Amino acid sequence: MMNKSPIVRRSAALVIEPPMVLALMRLEERARCVMLLGLDAESSNSDSLRVRLNVVFQPIPVRRGPFAPNDYYVATTGGSARLSASNAELVEYTRGSSLAVQYGVRAERKVEGHGKLAPELKGKVGAMDLEFKPGSVEHATQSTLSSGVKFASEEMPLVPIYQGDAVEWRIDSHRGEKAVRDFLAGNVYLEATFRWKTVTKSGSAHVRPSDISFFDHSRRQLSSCKSILMRFALWRKGIDIAHCNGIEVTFVEDQSGRL
């Protein structure tokens, strides 16, 4: 029985332009971004690369309050990450993740009723006609008929969108009440393997926040009016949020060191 040779992967050197990935950005610039991008790659054969993304959701703390200072935050509730390659085929990529949810649908129908009681007495005594109406009584009724159904389903906080030579991931927090915070914070690691039809292996990577929002010291989202005050506070402190429309870079494998 012949043993298969193990797949040997080696780190691939990339030339990245502009230098706006984690390893190349200045600390001061990184501190002003709500979303950051880390990028590297490894190779197992001459025509393929496995490109890896480190998508960073970074809330920016803003200290407020002269007597009882608290941290307020600038952050995002979702975003997207995209990898594409020139003259290449997408072979494999990070799949989505699901979240089990319970749904309830309820319908109500109102039924109204109306009645009137008006007794009337007519008669004749000798040559005299008599007519007696003591009055009327009206009544109205209203009832509600309701029916409902509950069912289980799944939502996808991480959704990949396959595009042939590219893949885009949607990254979102779930709706409704949160246990810890209303914004995203942390790292999401994604990867995609491309097979090129040319000697030159090149492509692009792009991350973009879906929104730039403001949150209080309890990490709950501020109202529209309070968000305006928060923007004024940022202006007074001289804090400028960087790359609000995202970060996009191109990459090319550096083959100069190959034998």
The letter for the amino acid at 146 is S
What tokens does 234 get? 């940022």
Look up tokens 């407020």; give the residue. Answer: 64
Whether 251 contacts 108, CB under 8 Å: no
Q: Biggest alpha carbon distance in the chain?
A: 134
Report d(CA 209, CA 76) in Å as an integer: 6
Domains of the chain as residue ranges with CATH? 10-100+156-253 (2.60.40.1170), 106-147 (no CATH)
**pLDDT of the chain along its 259 residues, tens only?**
445 544 455 677 899 999 999 999 999 999 999 999 999 999 878 889 999 999 999 999 998 877 778 899 999 999 999 999 989 999 999 998 765 555 455 555 565 666 665 566 565 555 666 565 655 556 566 665 555 555 444 455 889 999 989 999 999 887 766 777 888 999 999 999 999 999 999 999 999 999 999 999 999 999 988 898 888 888 888 889 999 999 999 999 987 755 4
Supply the pLDDT for residue 105. 53
For 91-114, b/e burial (b = at least 16 CB within 10 A) is eebbeeeeeeeeeeeeeeeeeeee
- Tokens encoding 144: 């509600």
Q: Phi and psi (nearest 5°) for 152?
A: -100, 145
Residues 86, 141: Cα–Cα separation, whole Å: 72
80 SS3 class: strand
User: Which of 41, 34, 49, 92 has the alpha carbon at shortest distance from 209?
Assistant: 34
Task: Return the structure tokens found at 202.
Answer: 């090149």
